Structures are given as C-alpha cells and as structure tokens.
Copies of this chain bind each other. A is one copy, B any other.
C-alpha cells in the first residue's frame, strides 16, 4: 500500500512567473532574442463592452493584482521545464537566462479600487520594458476581471437591499476554492457586511458570518436538543437555522430558548410569507429583538421583491448568484499595446473604436455632485474634472501604501451615491457618456489606413 501524496495545484506565490499564457513567455523570449525587450511600452487595460444586465461597473481586485506583480518571478525548476518545451529548444541561451532573471520593474497607474467605471476607459496602465509589460497581461486580466464582476453584481444587490445586512455566502459555489477570497473582498468593497468564508474574513479583517447547517439539526435526536446545544455553546452569538423540518415549528422552538438567541435563519420556502409569520411568532413570544436572516438562491431581483413587499427581513445571505456573477459570468476585459518607444500603437477593432497613446480619464460631476460624464485624454493632457488614474507603482516599487480595505469601501459608497439616477434601476440601460479628446481622435485617425478611416466613418 503506497501513500503517494496527490498533486497540489496551489501555485507558489513566490514563483507566479509562468502563471500566464504560454504566448506571453514566447513573446518575452522573442523580444529578448530580437533585441526589443528593453523598448519602453505602454499597455492599457480596459473593458470592451458592458456585460448583460449592468449599467455600471465597480473596479476591484487591484491590491492582489499589484501585490503579485511586485513579487513576480520564476523558480529555477520552472525555467528548466520551459527550456525543455518544443517551442523553446532553439531559443538562444542568453534570452532564456534573461527570462529567468526577469522581475517587474515598470510603472503602473490605475483607477483606485471601489471606483465606478465604464467600458472604453483606461482602468490601468502599465509602462515598462516591452518584455515585462507583455508578461503581466494574462495575470492582470485574470486578477482584475473577476473581482470587478463580483463587486459590480454586489453593488446591484446593495442598491435594492434597503440598508439590510448582506452576507456573502458563496464559498462553495465559486469556481474553485481560491475564488472565495476574491469574492469576499469584492463584495465587501461594494457594501456587503461580511462573508461566510472564515479564512477570507481572517486575512481581510472583515466580519465572518455563519450560523449552522441542516446537518447540525439532523445530528441531534430532535430540533429542541439541537437548538439547546448550539445556544449553550455559542450563547449570545447563536443564529439558529429553523427550516430543517417545519419552519414555523422551528421558529416557535427558537423563540422558547432562554436566554434569547440573537437571530434565526430561514433557507427555503416562500420567504415573504414565512418571515411575516416568523416575526409574528417572535413578537407573541416577547422576542422582538430576534433578527430574521434569509438565504437560498437569492439575487438582486428576489431581494428587491422582498424589500419592496416589506417582508420583515433583517439580513440576506447571498451565495451562488453573487460569487458566479451568474447572469454575467464573464467580462470582456482586455490589455492592449497603445504606445511603444513614444509611438502610438493602434488596432482597429470591428466592434469598437480604440485609441493609441497613454491615457488619463477625467470624471466630471454635475452641480449636485452626480457623475455627468467621463472624458478620456492623452496622459499628458489636462481637462476638467477629477483625474481617475493615479500612480501606484514606479520602477517596480509601490509609490505609497495602497488604501486600506475600509477606505476602499468608503470610496465605493461615495461613488455609488454619486451615480446618475437613471443608472440605478436594476434594468437601467448603460448609457453613461464617455468622450475622447480631440488629440486622441487625431492620433487615432493618423494611424488609420485609408480603408480603416472609411470603415470608421471618418
């Protein structure tokens, strides 16, 4: 009997260098072999198109992305393996040696996390030697698109929850066990109050939220003994799950416990009806202080309906719909070369106009402080409004410590409060105005071929 340990698919955070598409590595080596690796390049990250059912996005995930970027490196074992792959067999040794020694030493500008953003505007800009700037493409997109999806979905839920407590309950429904960390943080930024994922709560310093599963109730001879044992162990922190057998019977049993428990949770059934009946039972039993939490396939539409109907719900636990951003599980986030050696770079996209050169985004507000429109300029232009991109990394080092999570959350709250009213409804159309400066328009036109200019209608 052998006990070989199975493979671990957790990457070493000190050797994330090849956690990227192979073609980034081939291009890096190609640039090294062609003497182009050191040319100064600027790439920009942006979202091409609004996903379904969204009128705005909340940018999130930057702290992790930057943290990993600053540690990015290859281990000797990784380099040895890459050298052995067919594509790399004829690559000059000096190029492979340079790859092995590569670190990220460039500059990064980005829009701060928690900011409301829109397709077509630069969210993050990397200026670095070409090989380094190319290296980070896959990793940055993989690290930023998903938290942005979750924060954007969470913001919709927050917008209809009427100030009730919101808990991220999705850990088991994420795309692998790592997802829970990114989702818990993104949801918290957008206004959720806590997460069920214990280690995410610990690492992030956010409230961990949890009750009990049906299996707890089933493990005891009856519901009364299950509730009593839980209340005895956890005292004033015990939230009891009341719907294992008969929900209203469960509520009556929970209401009888001395001293009173703080909350009950209902995970199934007609939540509008059951929470009203549960509230009545709690009142009859002098338990007006007991809160009612609900969960079970909730999304922004079901939560909005419960809140509008006035169901006596104190808190919502949201799992699958949030952690998978189920109605829009992918974001068309891209990272494109816009400048090389001071020259604008440009590729006509059939779906959407794009612009060369390093850029800045200015956000303009109306008299009431609401967002009125964003104006995209070259990075060296100045326009009215708040410049959204700020320097984050210079020469491979943080410019200053990144904002703390509570500050990011506060920024997001202010940002969501400043959304134009027409973008707030769950079915709002994505019609926020983005304009481009005359210099950008001229730069783009200059780089177009005559045929492209025809296609673009210029």
**Nearest-neighbor residue (CB-CB) of A349 within chain B:** B268
**Min CB distance, A442 to chain B, in Å?**
19
Q: Complex formed: what's the CA distance from A179 to B398 in Å? A: 27
Say yes or no for A210: interface residue by CB 8 A criterion: yes
**Min CB distance, A101 to chain B, in Å?**
17
B90 touching A22, Cβ below 8 Å: no
A6 touching B234, Cβ below 8 Å: no
Q: Complex formed: what's the CA distance from A326 to B327 in Å? A: 9
Seen from chain A, the residues whose Cβ lies within 8 Å of a Cβ on chain B are 1-11, 13, 16, 18-27, 29-31, 33-34, 36, 39, 41, 43, 63-64, 66-68, 70-71, 78, 81-82, 85-91, 95, 130, 134, 137-139, 141-143, 145-147, 149, 169, 171-182, 185, 196-204, 208-216, 218-219, 229-230, 232-235, 237-238, 244-245, 268-269, 320, 324-326, 329-330, 333, 336-337, 340, 345-347, 350, 397-402, 449
**Nearest-neighbor residue (CB-CB) of A241 within chain B:** B23
A78 touching B234, Cβ below 8 Å: no
Q: Complex formed: what's the CA distance from A20 to B41 in Å? A: 42
Q: Complex formed: what's the CA distance from A232 to B92 in Å? A: 11
**Min CB distance, A287 to chain B, in Å?**
20
* 6 residue pairs, one from A and one from B, having the closest CB atoms: A22-B210, A178-B178, A6-B67, A23-B210, A175-B175, A141-B172
Please name all residues of chain B whose beta carbon is closer than 8 Å to the beta carbon of A230 when the two chains form the complex: 30
Please name all residues of chain B whose beta carbon is closer than 8 Å to the beta carbon of A400 when the two chains form the complex: 1-2
A210 touching B326, Cβ below 8 Å: no
Additional A-B contacts beyond A90-B235, A139-B177, A219-B340 (9; CB < 8 A) = A9-B181, A20-B171, A21-B169, A21-B171, A25-B198, A26-B212, A33-B232, A87-B234, A138-B197
B203 touching A7, Cβ below 8 Å: yes
B142 touching A234, Cβ below 8 Å: no
B177 touching A179, Cβ below 8 Å: no
Please name all residues of chain B whose beta carbon is closer than 8 Å to the beta carbon of A229 when the two chains form the complex: 30, 33-34, 36
A78 touches which of B177, B202, B232, B346 (Cβ 8 Å): B202
Copies in the complex: 2
A81 touches which of B182, B202, B320 (Cβ 8 Å): B202
Q: Complex formed: what's the CA distance from A87 to B30 in Å? A: 56
B10 touching A142, Cβ below 8 Å: no
A174 touching B171, Cβ below 8 Å: no
Q: Complex formed: what's the CA distance from A34 to B176 in Å? A: 33
A6-B398 contact given A82-B202, A234-B30, CB 8 Å threshold: yes
Please name all residues of chain B whose beta carbon is closer than 8 Å to the beta carbon of A67 when the two chains form the complex: 5-8
**Nearest-neighbor residue (CB-CB) of A142 within chain B:** B177
B6 touching A402, Cβ below 8 Å: yes
B347 touching A244, Cβ below 8 Å: yes
Q: Complex formed: what's the CA distance from A147 to B23 in Å? A: 24
19 contacts between A and B (CB under 8 A): A2-B398, A6-B398, A8-B71, A11-B178, A18-B199, A19-B197, A19-B198, A30-B233, A33-B229, A36-B229, A91-B234, A95-B233, A130-B219, A176-B178, A177-B178, A218-B340, A219-B337, A219-B345, A269-B350
B268 touching A27, Cβ below 8 Å: no
**Min CB distance, A253 to chain B, in Å?**
16
B26 touching A177, Cβ below 8 Å: no
A185 touches which of B9, B63, B178 (Cβ 8 Å): B9
B210 touching A21, Cβ below 8 Å: yes
Which one of A39, A86, A88, A329 has the greatest number of beta carbons of chain B within 10 Å? A329
A330 touching B326, Cβ below 8 Å: yes
A181 touching B29, Cβ below 8 Å: no
Q: Complex formed: what's the CA distance from A316 to B244 in Å? A: 48
A213-B85 contact given A30-B234, A324-B329, CB 8 Å threshold: no
Please name all residues of chain B whose beta carbon is closer than 8 Å to the beta carbon of A235 when the two chains form the complex: 89-90
